[in-house]
Structure 1
Amino acid sequence: MSALFHAVVIEDESDLLELLREQLTRLGCRVSGAATGHGGVDLARTDPPDLVLVDMMLPDIDGREVVRRLRADPRTARCPVVLCSVLDPDDLTDLDADAVLPKPFGKADVARIVQQFTTADRRQP
């Protein structure tokens, strides 16, 4: 995988944000992180990523709203979005996310998600 693969992580728990940043960096990703939904959406709009990992429960707007805003913006509409949540994945099927990463997760789960989305370029029409 090229180091040019850019991931945005939106997670308000600083320890988990840093853990994901470290894991993704080891997998060859360039990582941008935000602790709020607004901050994450702004990051994604400014420097469109190849993948967004977003926590469902954020202090300002929830993951559902983050997904809605990313899908509504032409710069990020085709970017794969992965929801990170303790909620039952079956309860998240109505969202326009590409995958769910159930919490708690391990290094192998993060690697699987990255591998899944590095093989497909959704930004091409």
Structure 2
Amino acid sequence: MEHPPHVLVIEDDDDVLDLLDGHLTRLGCRVSRATDGEQGVATAVAERPDVIFVDMVLPGIDGREVADRLRGDTRTADCKIVVTSVLDPQDVDDKRFDGILTKPFRRADIRTALTTVDVAIPEVSP
């Protein structure tokens, strides 16, 4: 079996961050966390995760700016980026992002988002 997918979650709401972390862990992913855009970009560059879940609205730089910085850096340009948002999907659908996870979400929605960006999920528990 290959290594578990490494997912970086960039989210400023602690409850949502904990929820995403828990669901992703139960889906067999290794999770890193960041609570703002600047920290998220730095973590992504340092750790080069397979997938980045980034909230659209963050303190400091927003999800679009995070995506722009990641796409502009050769170390992270190929990372899959899934935006998380309470906005309507058509309001956040642009070429910066590989997928969209609409809030509120369930674990099945997270699984679908991972599958959409071609990440194999080695689920370890129901």
Structure 2: distance between partners of 1:49 and 1:111: 17
Q: Tell me the CA shift for residue 95 of structure 1.
A: 4.3
Structure 1 window deviating more from structure 2 (49-58 vs 103-112): it is 103-112
Q: How does 1:13-52 map to 2 (within 5 A)?
A: 13-52=13-52
Identity, % of aligned pairs? 50
Corresponding residue number in structure 1 for 2:108 = 108
Ranked by relative contact order (alpha carbons within 8 Å, sequence separation 6 or more), the top structure is 2
Q: How does 1:77-88 map to 2 (within 5 A)?
A: 77-88=77-88
Give unmatched runs, 5+ long, in structure 1. Answer: 120-125
Give unmatched runs, 5+ long, in structure 2. Answer: 121-126
Two-structure CA RMSD over aligned residues (Å): 1.4
Structure 1: distance between partners of 2:95 and 2:119: 22
Matched residues, number:
119
Off by >6 Å, runs of 4+ in structure 1: none
Structure 2: distance between partners of 1:60 and 1:95: 22
Q: Return the TM-score normalized by structure 1.
A: 0.89
Structure 2: distance between partners of 1:54 and 1:2: 25
Q: Return the TM-score normalized by structure 2.
A: 0.88
